[in-house]
Amino acid sequence: QKEVEQNSGPLSVPEGAIASLNCTYSDRGSQSFFWYRQYSGKSPELIMFIYSNGDKEDGRFTAQLNKASQYVSLLIRDSQPSDSATYLCAVTGNQFYFGTGTSLTVIP
Amino acid sequence: GAVVSQHPSWVICKSGTSVKIECRSLDFQATTMFWYRQFPKQSLMLMATSNEGSKATYEQGVEKDKFLINHASLTLSTLTVTSAHPEDSSFYICSPKQGSYNEQFFGPGTRLTVL
């Protein structure tokens, strides 16, 4: 079983809609959870991180963490074409474990 | 976020040559450096972890004699791909980490193409 699993997509949403990205992890002892955005040919950039159960909002982005279900998600409100990218979920255990990423396309 | 630079950003070389990639953390001291590799349409794969002044720890399947890592200072780490072959063509990304901070930032990456 992979440490971190994401639906590879592609996920397509119309401009202005809410994009929902999901991630599950296997290590119940994981402490920190991160979402990165990666444009094609570029390095990942940190969007946000979450440590505690519940929701954390930053602008148009909301991370949701449910440790009991071993589930972390990222919601993007008012999606823009510039949000089109691959979104990587990362979880810290003994090291950083990355998911394979979900490809998001926002259609104008 | 942290400022991390990599050089070169893009390199093409002939098979059998060696390529050195530099990674610099410009505004903090990187006590730990992670080196990743990413093939097209795949996720990041951790190659090795190094602590300043110590030998790197390599992930299973990564040849330590082929991918030489030097982390001689808190702001500079280098990855040398020795005797590169076409299958080494990939996107190499460094990720410095400062002390106990959990956040991990990435360099802009180096695209290596071996002909």
Q: Which residues of B touch A101 (CB under 8 A)?
A: 43
Q: How confident is the model over B3-24, as a mean pLDDT? A: 95
Nearest CA among A60, A39, A64, A62 for reference residue A51: A64
Is A58's Cβ below 8 Å from some Cβ in B?
Answer: no
| B107 and chain A in contact, CB less than 8 A | yes
Indicate the pLDDT class of residue B100, thresholds 50, 70 and 90. low
Q: How confident is the model at residue A94 (pLDDT cuts 50, 70, 90)?
A: low
Please name the residues in contact with A45: beta carbons below 8 A apart, sequence gap of 6 or more: A36, A37, A38, B1, B106
Confirm or reject contact between B73 and chain A (CB < 8 A). no
Residue type, A75: L
Quick one: pLDDT band at residue A92, thresholds 50, 70, 90? confident
Residue A16 backbone zone (phi > 0: left; psi -120 to 50: alpha; other: beta): left
pLDDT of residue A44: 92
Residues of B in contact with A88 (CB under 8 A): 43-44
Which residues of chain A make contact with B46, given a CB cutoff of 8 A? 95-96
B108/A96 Cβ within 8 A:
no
pLDDT (0 to 100) of residue B111: 96
Percent of chain A surpassing pLDDT 70: 97
Of all helices (H) and strands (E), which one includes residue B106? none
Query: What mean pLDDT is predicted for residues A85-101?
Result: 87
pLDDT one-digit tens code per residue, B25-65: 888 888 889 999 999 888 889 999 998 888 899 999 999 99
Q: Does A50 touch chain B (CB under 8 A)?
A: no
Instruction: Say yes or no to pLDDT of B101 above 70.
Output: no
Instruction: Say which residue, B112 or B53, is predicted with more confidence.
Output: B112
Strands A61-66 and A71-76: antiparallel
Query: Tokens representing B94?
Result: 């460094």
Give the amino acid at A38. Q
Give me the pLDDT at residue A58, please.
95
Q: Which helix (H) or strand (E) holds A68?
A: none
Look over chain A and give the mean of its residue pLDDT values, rounded to a whole number. 92
Overall average pLDDT of the A75-82 stretch: 97
